[in-house]
Structure 1
Amino acid sequence: MRTKKNIIKVGYLLSYDYKFIFNSIKQIYDFSDEIFICYDKDGKTWAGNAFEIPDNIFSKIRELDHQNKIIFYSDTFYVEKLSAIDLDTRQRNMLAQKMGKGGWHIQIDSDEYLVGFEKLAGFLRKQKYLLKSPEKTPVNFFVNFVTLFKQTEEGFFVISPFTESCFLITNVPKYTNARFPQNSFSLKLSVNNIHQSWARTQNEILQKINNWGHSTDFDTVDFYNKWDNLNQQNYTQFKNFHPIYPNDWQELKFIPAKSVEEFIVNFEKKYPQQEIEMPLKLKKRIKLYLKSLF
């Protein structure tokens, strides 16, 4: 049930990578107030390609929803002649409207696993004064991506260091470029968001790069070939290799794990989420608090 107490709102975009959402929901379910799952009712990607979400996926999601906090939202999100990135942005804004005013809006993709979410939710609840008049105190929080680049039988190649920014949370949910928020006041939190991203099968990678919001911004064939040829003998040669923003992906490290579930567990043990503090000096925190009152 929706009430004014719904402070932690999580929104998902569900598409062809639907199978990953279960690991993601498990990370955030207990500490969220509302969870919205948004998908195209016509079964089209932003590139206009067809996909199908099996009915049993929805059934399995409902089985996880023992507190009755998940809301499904379907609509037409593909519009001919609009670019993939414009459609990405459009869908996120439509989802934000569905999630409603108020609360902290957190938009997560199905293949993202927010580790340590209990502490993140606790931190956000402490900052609820910023929700009283958000137009007066607009603020975004972004976190670190832990991007899984490729999976083998022995483990995962992971992009390092974990400094790539992931815009995630806002109290004014208006987006201008994918989930990049309109308001410019952003703060970085020491929180890690594991991104399954490129750690998929060959067919899934081809599907991803041909339907991604940035699919027209780089040579997808060249990128795929480099990904396909990556192995434990040559991974140290991958330096500054992001196809659009090279410096975002400085290098790769290899972390042993038999599955993504095992990777998440091992990662949380190695990099436990610490208590989160507001990344502002006391004077600025006081100024922000007073601004929220008047």
Structure 2
Amino acid sequence: MLLNNLLVKAIDFWQKHSGLSYLQTHSIYSKILDSDSLVIDLGANRGQFSEAITREFKCSCYAIEAAPSLYSKLPENGLIKNFNYAISDRNEPLKLYISDNIECNSISQEVASSYGLQGEISVDGITLETFLNNQRIELVDLLKIDIEGAEEAVFNSTTDTTLCNIKQLSIEFHDFMPGSISTEEVNKITNRLKRLGFIWIPFSYLLFGMESSDFLFINTNRCKIPYKDWLGFQMIKLLLTLQKTLSLVEGATLRLKTRLKRLLYQLSSS
């Protein structure tokens, strides 16, 4: 427990000294954001992230939310443009399954059913490529993705050229949810972004069972990263990996102790 607390404090130290911050459950490289930046919020929900990012940096934000009931509650503060779409791999209507948990509405029925299924509706689907072309967006300073399992569809329909025109991505992958994207597909997307020149920082290694729920990717070809920040990123990745390893060891030790107790109980009862 002491070692874990020390690791968390060390990660927090390097995060603060590397221009990284945490905003509405998403980690971002805040040093490259300002009032001229353009942010796209995929899976805006009720606009918590959109509102926070525009308040913090006075930047423009395109908030995209599929569920009409949530879209109607998106904030309007002059910096946010709201769009009622489901970002997908095709430009056509698709089924959106509505969950009792407003954060679990999904194109996957199994994901939406995790907290109770209310029903299904038809919504307008659109690819990220088409959306960017329609809005004449050539460069994105931050793409935040929290779309309850549709990550695979988005990346499979987005070209390398488009991804290379994004300075950073903050992604919540949902491979921890049944019926969602697979861990193998998460690894495939991660490796693709690395190949394109993105630094990868897995902040959610701190979250047991949700290790891919807060991944930050920074485009080294688009962002000028000072050496001290780059060094901080490497230190954070090392510390996060150590923390994950520690959690795995602690979990294995706990399971072993439980098995030994059961075995001793069985032996004493025989």
TM-score bracket for the superposition, by shorter chain length? under 0.3
Q: Report the TM-score, using the length of structure 2 for normalisation.
A: 0.25
- Indicate the structure (1 or 2) with the bigger Cα radius of gyration: 2
| TM score, norm. by length of structure 1 | 0.23
